Amino acid sequence: MAKFWKLIGYLLLALFNAFSIWGALFLFSRGFYELSITFFVLIVLIDYFVLNSRAYPYRYMIPAVILLFILVLYPIAFTIKTAFTNYGTGHIMTRQEVLDRLLTDPVYTYVPDNAKSYDYQIFVRYNGIDPTEDFKMIVVNENGEKYIVGNIKPVRMQAGKMILGEAELIDMEKVQTIMENGKLIAIVEDGKTYNYFYSPSDKETAINEVFFKSKIAFPILSKVEIVDNQRNRLSLRFSSDGSLKLVQIKHLYRMALSEVVENGKTVVKTTLVNDRTNKPLLEEEGMFYDFDEKGEKVPVLGYISYVGSKNFTKIFTDPTVSGPFTKIFLWNFTYAALSVLFTFVIGLSFALVLNNNTLRGRTIYRTLLIIPWAIPAFISVLIWKNGFFNETYGVFNRFIVTNLFNGDPVKWMTNPFWAKVAVLIVNTWLGFPYMMTVSLGALQSIPDELYEAASIDGASKPKRFWKITFPLLMTTIAPLLVGSFAFNFNNFVNIYLLTAGGPAIPNTTTPAGATDILISYTYKLAFEAGRGQDFGFASAISILIFFIVAGISFVNFRISGSFEEVNR
């Protein structure tokens, strides 16, 4: 029986390997190299843990290893890679994808000045009395000769949908037709009958124009290029009267050998050329540029390209970026430090009160004081924002500031100073119960004998606190304060829900706000930038945040002497 289950285990491992290797190869072929390498490393490690008897204990770590690689190590590697690219709005695709699109996408086509126009007829298959989207198309040239459009062959696909299709014209002799009074009324193919439905030159079929445009023309034929016997390409285009005409088209761009200037030298290389102007496109900094009639550059399409340390240097060298970045960093440090200070002072004060054995109802007080910590933070933040800090009907402005003190309403959300005050108030409210709890636990671990000996020696209560309580307390609390600082340094939720980083800092080219911290600033750059998303720049700031937090934490640990027992 044991051998049977062992065999089943090996079969499952073989299936896992086969599926994982296929997935890794698929990802590699699609350009996801980091994720593909992650899969291959996971396969090797898991096989080693399972097949090697010496690695038996590590088998229980397999789920953790999988999560570590996919949710931690891969995002780190991807972030580092992205930080050295221009990945963002306008630079989403790879260079090859951009080339394929410029050469094949119907958007990048034009109608030549001497283009011929063709008449066409649409035949559809009916389901009872209702027309379907199954159709046949006949093209009539300038000589009145008719050809039927063959089957549509996908040329370019994206996410399972056809971006560009191609079909050839076939002689009518190869098709079975039904005539009536010398007029073609139906086509028969593979046992299916397609009845005459629409033609732009036949006013009697105008009633069917809406169905033709919505179900056939726009979803299908607008993405299809029809090739005639002379290799001319035909496609549907709007005419001046609003109808769809079948006209000869050409692709706007083509690959050709051109003379270009590189590093001050003229070289011949394969480039994209505008077919209308016969001018090569300029390619620089991950962008293809065309030229207008005045010779000025016009951006066409961009692609992901390596930009080196540009994203990092921009933080310090671009005044429109470095200015708000410096303000945000200083506020970020101040916000984290003051949050730790306020929460610790208030939490410790309550802990000292609750640690008094003579205090009645300590359990009730402790329960009430933990409520801000027990309620989900996003609920508390929204209550503070809409119930207390609303500038029109909030509790502070309506009842305290204006009614009690007869003052002007405080601009909690539009004034930078008061917005920062509001953020600190809310963060202190959410954080002091945690500090109170850990301080209370630390206080209860201090032996009473120390206080008795100090009291006998004549030490006052303040002296006992500073000489006994505080030093022993900091031995336990210091690592938690460092952790709290790191947490508040990246406390995105409170900032984003309360002020969304606002109010905005003027005269900046980035979406920077007065209460933004680095992580919320990074989020805005990546997902909410008014000029577009900039994942590369956001990744660079994310790496910088990591080193800042790691450095500050390391210094704090060294100064506070935390983990000194471990170091010994």
Give phi and psi for 290, each to the nearest 5.
Answer: -100, 180
Taking every pair of Cα atoms in the chain, the longest distance, rounded to a whole number of angstroms, is 125
Q: What is the spatial distance between Cα 546 and Cα 553, in angstroms, rounded to a whole number?
A: 11
Is 566 inside a domain boundary?
A: no
Question: Could you identify the residue written with the tokens 């285990």?
Answer: 9
Q: Tell me the average pLDDT of the chain.
A: 88
The per-residue pLDDT for 166 is 93
Q: What is the spatial distance between Cα 534 and Cα 88, in angstroms, rounded to a whole number?
A: 4
Is 519 inside a domain boundary?
A: yes
Kindly report the number of other CB atoms within 10 A of residue 80's CB atom: 15
Q: What is the mean pLDDT of residues 122-130?
A: 94
Is 72 inside a domain boundary?
A: yes
430: confidence class by pLDDT, cuts 50, 70, 90:
very high
Q: What tokens were used for 308? A: 């080196």
pLDDT at 528 over 80: no
Q: What is the mean pLDDT of residues 265-276?
A: 82
Distances (CA, A) of 421 to 328, 369, 412, 418, 554: 15, 22, 8, 5, 29
CATH number at residue 392: 1.10.3720.10
Based on the fold, state whether residues 464 and 316 are members of the same structural domain: yes
Is 459 inside a domain boundary?
A: yes
DSSP classification of residue 88:
B
Based on the fold, state whether residues 179 and 289 are members of the same structural domain: no
Q: What is the spatial distance between Cα 51 and Cα 13, in angstroms, rounded to a whole number?
A: 10
Based on the fold, state whether residues 69 and 211 are members of the same structural domain: no
Give pLDDT tens digits for 202-250: 999 999 999 999 999 999 998 999 998 888 899 998 887 777 899 999 9
Q: What tokens were used for 437? A: 């709890």
Alpha helices in 490-534 (DSSP H): 492-498, 518-523
Q: What is the mean pLDDT of residues 335-352?
A: 95
Based on the fold, state whether residues 332 and 474 are members of the same structural domain: yes
pLDDT at 260 over 80: no
CB 433 within 8 A of CB 347: yes
Based on the fold, state whether residues 349 and 431 are members of the same structural domain: yes
Q: What is the mean pLDDT of residues 555-568?
A: 60
Kindly report the number of other CB atoms within 10 A of residue 56's CB atom: 10
CA atoms within 13 A on the CB side of 457: 11
Based on the fold, state whether residues 386 and 513 are members of the same structural domain: yes
Share of the chain above pLDDT 90, in %: 42
Question: Which candidate, 82, 76, 75, 90, places its Cα nearest to that of 540?
Answer: 82
- The count of domains in the chain is 4
Based on the fold, state whether residues 233 and 295 are members of the same structural domain: no
CB 222 within 8 A of CB 244: no
Measured CA angle at 342 (ends 331, 556), to 5 deg: 70
CATH number at residue 22: 1.20.58
pLDDT at 262 over 90: no
Based on the fold, state whether residues 324 and 297 are members of the same structural domain: no
Is 88 inside a domain boundary?
A: no
Is 568 inside a domain boundary?
A: no
536: confidence class by pLDDT, cuts 50, 70, 90:
very high
339: confidence class by pLDDT, cuts 50, 70, 90:
very high
The per-residue pLDDT for 566 is 46
Q: What is the mean pLDDT of residues 318-331?
A: 88
Based on the fold, state whether residues 451 and 535 are members of the same structural domain: yes
Strands 192-198 and 153-158: unpaired
Residue range of the domain that includes 290: 93-99+251-302
Based on the fold, state whether residues 113 and 143 are members of the same structural domain: yes
Is 563 inside a domain boundary?
A: no
Last residue of a domain, one of 49, 83, 117: 83
The per-residue pLDDT for 174 is 84
Is 318 inside a domain boundary?
A: yes
Give pLDDT tens digits for 14-73: 998 899 899 899 988 877 888 898 889 999 999 898 888 888 888 888 889 889 998 888
Based on the fold, state whether residues 401 and 463 are members of the same structural domain: yes
The per-residue pLDDT for 256 is 86
The per-residue pLDDT for 561 is 61
pLDDT at 158 over 80: no
CB 308 within 8 A of CB 292: no
Give phi and psi for 358, each to the nearest 5.
Answer: -85, -5
Prediction pTM value: 0.77
Radius of gyration of the chain (CA): 36
Q: Which residues pair with 183 in a beta bridge?
A: 180
451: confidence class by pLDDT, cuts 50, 70, 90:
confident
Q: Which residues pair with 164 in a beta bridge?
A: 156
Based on the fold, state whether residues 478 and 387 are members of the same structural domain: yes
Q: What tokens were used for 554? A: 């390391």
pLDDT at 445 over 70: yes
